[in-house]
Structure 1
Amino acid sequence: YFGVFPFVFGFIANTAPQGVEIMTDIDKYLSFVINMFIAFGLAFETPVAVILLVKFGILSVVQLRGARRYVIVGAFIVGAVFTPPDAISQTLLALPLWLLYEIGIIAASRMSPLVKEPSPDPLDS
């Protein structure tokens, strides 16, 4: 809240035309703040989702690394959908979402067991 909202509110206040007084509607303000909280709350669950996908074998770390470019585009699309129509708030949601995805990949690669070569069975000789 204290990191993103001052930038977003400052940007919105500075885009108002000169001589126009900003009058906020409490209903629209609360709706805006709640939507932003939900969007950022879901974004910060990304590492947990990535780790669970790898842990349950749904995706591998290699697949997640290969999907990186699609995740970056998807993060900006999510930022465009869940934030007001300005580039600053979109970027302030998309960049942490992408970084959290990368953190999830790093954590999943450290938590996933290493693939070992099968040891030769002495009975097969």
Structure 2
Amino acid sequence: MLEHNSVISIEDVSTDEYFLYLVRRSKYGHALVWLSDAYLFTDMDYINRPAQLKCGDYIVIAKPEGGGGASTELIQSAAIGVGKLADFMGALNKRDMWTYVAPSWEERQERKKRFEAKRRQS
């Protein structure tokens, strides 16, 4: 995590009940991050999130095999992002992390093609 270009530091601020980390970012300040152990993260999990999470914070679905996510309406109204680790890593580059949308498979393939073409030109 510390190798991410937007991350300055990480502080473990976990409680007996939740795994919480304060992530300080170079451009956009800090965000509190909750590592949820839910296998299937639902709207109810989002509603029952730790009270410490405020606007601009993020919920990481920590189980790689897990899935789900809260509804867009809930995320937009609370302005607390939710996603898997890869989504969080992308969201770190945005001021409003809850608005991050991962690129589609097609977009990633197009970026890869452009990168390869640019590399061949060098």
- TM bin, normalised by shorter chain, reads under 0.3
The alignment's TM-score, normalised by the length of structure 2, stands at 0.23
Structure number with greater Rg is 1
**Per residue, is there more strand in 1 or in 2?**
2
The structure with higher relative contact order (CA 8 Å, sep 6+) is: 1
**Per residue, is there more helix in 1 or in 2?**
1
The alignment's TM-score, normalised by the length of structure 1, stands at 0.22
